[in-house]
Amino acid sequence: MNILESSSDLSEELFLCPSGKPFLNRGIFQPLNQERMNNTQILHSIPVDPLTGSIGTPIYLTSTFVQEAPGINRGFAYGRTGNPTRSILEQLIAQLEGGASGSAFASGLAAIDAVVRLLHSGDEILALDDLYGGAFRLFTQVYNRYDIRVSFADAGDVGAVLDAITPRTKLIWIESPSNPTLKIADIEAIARLARAHGILLCVDNTFASPVLQQPLRLGADIVVHSATKYLGGHSDLIAGLVVTREEALGEQIRFFQNAAGAVLSPFDSWLVIRGIETLSLRVKHQSRTAGILAEALQQHPLIRHVNYPGLTTHPNHEVAARQSSGFGAVLSFALKEDTEAAARLLITSTRRFLLAESLGGVKSLVSHPATMTHKTIPPAQRRAAGVHDSLVRLSVGLEEPEDLLEDLHQALATVYQKIIRKKSIHE
């Protein structure tokens, strides 16, 4: 039945529901038991406004909601606790990831922070060794004050993860693909390990997005996103999301969301919803271009190695092919001339690839992790995790592949002229 035809039933749910009940019940959304969603399903998962028929999601700019009597309201009481626009995004991301509950935060780091709040003093996090720099800083410089410790393992090696588990490990934290070395963790195998030891598994799914990979279906307990990246998709907002497989865990996350208050604004919730409408098209197109660039760069004489899970030379290519439907649109590469100076020259010589932190937008970006996103990680630890001095990370956008390739070739030619050729003349 059309949503508007059923509006008399809906109005009961919309206006008479007691405090705490969601604004839009799940009946409005598609059933949860389907596999990865295609673009038709994604588009039709975003509800038409049941009040007015508005095809665009309404933005509810309000801090509070009028109540009939104390505790009797229409599903919302106060804007930090819940907002109808945010609620649509939270249910949408839960559905995209195949989870029971979603929560939207003011940033990806606020989402990560909410998950760490599940722990207690004395607990340990076991994290992948090339963890995103902001998460590294949060774990090692904030949560260490509360006696929550973090240890690291190569998440691409299930045996190394098993060896690093201690009786205090309560949370395993992985990114797959990881940032910026594009390591791949076998999510299903690590989820089995985690379950056998009574440990929660959280996967930062920012790089893959639910279009390519759904960690909850592979056995993870929690997924986090920096929705700043692919979900938003246009480099115009900062947002974070948490999705849990079980409702009970989602309730705890919602408790922290309300108690600590780092919620996503209604307007930014709307921007993320709008970004999700084209998520599938963008991610597939950008991933295809990234594959073309990775293949070409691998042949370049100045390049030492390319990190991209779609290359058959990637150590965990088989795992990536099994657990995701595409390899993503981020790649990184190190130069044979493994110096910061060479990388700096390269990233300041590109014209189409704009020099900026972040990824996942429609415009291609280039960055130098060692001095930008990963500068908070001590150099020895950074290099040991594969983040070499010359490592350059590319976020591939929606430009034409041949324009991007030409741009990289001219930037590499500049590095050759100004550094390598000069050096060989002086030798």
Site string for ligand PLP, 379-398 (x = CB under 6 A): --------------------
Nearest in space to 43 (alpha carbons), one of 30, 53, 31: 30
- For ligand PLP, what does the binding mask look like between residues 126 and 165, x meaning CB under 6 A? ------x-x-------------------------------
Distance CA 275, CA 310 (A): 25
Q: What's the min distance (Å) between Cβ of 308 and ligand PLP?
A: 16
Q: Give the β-pairing of 365-367 and 354-355.
A: parallel
Which is it for the CA torsion 267, 272, 276, 282, positive or negative?
A: positive
Indicate if 132 belongs to the active site. Answer: yes
CA-to-CA separations, 67 to 29, 243, 375, in angstroms, rounded: 26, 29, 49
Binding mask 228-247 for ligand PLP (x = CB under 6 A): x---------x-x-------
> 306-335 mask for ligand PLP (x: CB under 6 A)?
------------------------------
- How many residues sit close enough to ligand PLP to count as binding (CB under 6 A)? 14
Active-site option among 113, 186, 204, 389? 204
Of positions 24, 109, 242, 320, contacts ligand PLP by CB under 6 A: 109
Question: In angstroms, what is the minimal distance from the CB of 179 to ligand PLP?
Answer: 5
Determine which residue in the list 13, 113, 186, 204 makes contact with ligand PLP, applying CB under 6 A. 204
Catalytic residue status for 229: yes
H-run or E-run covering 262: none
Select from 97, 175, 268, 337 the one that contacts ligand PLP (CB under 6 A).
175
- Tokens 């079980």, residue? 246
84 contacts 76 by C-beta, under 8 angstroms: yes
How many CA atoms within 13 Å lie on the side-chain side of 87? 23
d(CA 169, CA 300): 43
Which span (101-109, 116-124, 182-190, 241-249) binds ligand PLP, by CB under 6 A? Answer: 101-109
CB of 10 or CB of 272, closer to ligand PLP: 272
At position 118, the amino acid (one-letter code) is L
- With CB under 6 A as the contact rule, the residue among 101, 169, 206, 213 that binds ligand PLP is 206
Establish whether 423 is a catalytic residue.
no
Residue 108 as a binder of ligand PLP (CB under 6 A): the answer is yes
Three-state DSSP state, 421: helix
Asked whether the CA dihedral 204, 237, 60, 46 is positive or negative, the reply is negative
Catalytic residue among 36, 49, 80, 146: 80
Catalytic residue (choose from 60, 74, 86, 132): 132
Residue with tokens 């493994």: 338
The helix (H) or strand (E) run that includes residue 201 is strand 200-204
Q: How far apart are CA 57 and CA 275, in angstroms?
A: 12
For the question of residue 21 being annotated catalytic, the response is: no
Helix (H) or strand (E) holding 102, with range, is strand 101-105
Give the active site residues. Answer: 80, 132, 204, 229
Binding site for ligand PLP (CB under 6 A): 107-109, 132, 134, 175, 179, 204, 206, 226, 228, 238, 240, 358
